[in-house]
Amino acid sequence: MIRTKLSLLCFLFLLAACGGNDTPATEPPVTPPEEPVNPPGEDEDTNLNANPADEARPYVTDLCIPRLNEANQYVEHTVSYREQEILNYALEWVEDKRHAAWVAFSFDSETSQKNVNRTDEWLPDPFIPTSPQESDHKSDGFDKGHLCASDDRSYNRTANEQTFYYTNISPQMTSFNGGYWVTFEKLVQTWARSGTYDKLYVTKGGTTDDLLTNFTGTQHAADGRTPQTDANGLTRHGLACPHYYFMAILAQKGEDYQAIGFLVEHRDDYGYDNDRQAPASVIPTHALSIDELEEKTGLDFFCNMPDEVEDAIENAYEEQVWDWNIPEANSVSQKK
């Protein structure tokens, strides 16, 4: 009984000692949630449209690679160069058009070098079972026009040979290929080899969703035929013939980036040819922002950049920050 009274007194004493605290003893204090350092959508590294990393496709997150269309076949062509494996170029193959949606690659201090001559090793693409063959380009009135140009990949013999895969070839009108489009290629190669930039990321292609339909050309190709397409925009051998060709260029110097796009109609009446190529002065007339190029092509370029940076560089382009001169040594006629 005494022990019970003592226990009761101790309990009352402890209760009195805690009487000034209105918070129940069993309820932990509430800590207000911390504000995130970078609220959603405001992180400078946020990237909502990037290609997911994939061990089977190790270069899919490279800055030159557009957002992939999983309905198409994505291929990476690599080479062993100076004891390392590097991306030579990648492409996305549109099976029902028998034409690439785009090709993508980059220039740096190594891959911009001119170490080998043109190889002319025309071959089916070993990674595309349904790759076009030589017979698909025979007697059709078109040139075999490179997307990734032979002179874009002259740092290594294997790299140059890969540009002659038929999946990298597009049916182009002779005067367009050797007289007009070639000038755009030479300017980009000049930028790549000028030392102005640390790296130049390039995506090129033809508009596979906008083909040249019911076309009959006026100029003969080397095979003696005039180019023709049917109501579906296909050549005699069933290859898609783009209505436009495009380039998306991203230049990097340190942490600074600038971008520009080009969209050129596929025509045979520009008035130039292999012997008299278009001057560099025509190029700015075909320039546009990356946003505008994306709208016209349906592609999402440079998707692997942080969204904040991507939005800033794609919104507009500044003509005055680019050098529009092509050195005479780089403007001589070249076989395509």
Residues marked active site are found at: 146
Beta strand segments in the chain, E: 73-81, 84-94, 99-107, 143-146, 169-172, 199-206, 244-253, 256-265, 287-288
Q: Hey, what are 267's tokens?
A: 């025509």
Q: Which residue is it, tokens 């000028």? A: 194
Burial (CB < 10 A; 0-12, 13-18, 19+), residue 306, is middle
For residue 79, the cross-strand partners are 86
| Of the candidates 54, 50, 102, 43, the residue with the CA atom closest to the CA atom of residue 304 | 50
> Would you say 156 is a known binding-site residue?
no
Classify the phi-psi angles of 290: left when phi > 0, otherwise alpha if psi is within -120 to 50, otherwise beta.
Answer: alpha
Q: How far apart are CA 79 and CA 64, in angstroms?
A: 17
Q: Which residues contact 208 (CB under 8 A, 6 or more apart)?
A: 94, 97, 99, 100, 101, 240, 242
Cα dihedral 213, 143, 149, 87 in deg (nearest 10): 70
Q: Which residue is it, tokens 């016209």? A: 296
| Of the candidates 108, 140, 53, the residue with the CA atom closest to the CA atom of residue 250 | 108
Q: Which residue is it, tokens 């405001």? A: 42
Q: Which residue is it, tokens 């007289």? A: 179
Q: CA 293 from chain center: how many Å?
A: 12
Query: Binding site for Mg(2+): what residues are annotated?
Result: 177
Query: Binding site: what residues are annotated?
Result: 177
